[in-house]
């Protein structure tokens, strides 16, 4: 099982990533060892988590989310959807 996540950084920016261990990943982000981007924007917290079957699907979804505007990411975060459409035509 893999997870695609969006973090809210201390400066109100958003960071999207993937992991197979949510607890360990958030610890690494908040310790400043997971990402150069989040290191300068601590602390961070999860605002969106979506589980997927495998790493390949997680990478595809991560790319799709990263292409969204910030306002679209915020819509996703605040929606009641547990899943988003990952098809190329979406």
Residue 64 CA to residue 42 CA, distance in Å, equals: 25
**Which residues make beta-bridge pairs with 48?**
6
Q: Does domain 2-76 have CATH number 3.40.1440.10?
A: yes
Q: Indicate the pTM of the whole model.
A: 0.87
In this predicted model, what pLDDT tens digit does every residue of 22-80 receive, in sequence order? 999 999 999 999 999 999 999 999 999 999 999 999 999 999 999 999 999 999 999 86
Contact 8, 64 (CB under 8 A): no
């Amino acid at each position: 099982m893999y997870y695609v996540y969006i973090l809210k950084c201390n400066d109100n920016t958003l960071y999207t990533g993937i992991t197979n261990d949510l607890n360990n990943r958030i610890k690494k982000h908040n310790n400043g060892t997971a990402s150069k981007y989040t290191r300068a924007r601590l602390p961070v917290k999860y605002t969106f988590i979506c589980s997927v079957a495998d790493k390949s699907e997680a990478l595809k979804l991560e790319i799709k989310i990263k292409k969204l505007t910030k306002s679209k990411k915020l819509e996703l975060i605040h929606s009641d959807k547990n899943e988003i459409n990952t098809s190329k035509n979406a």
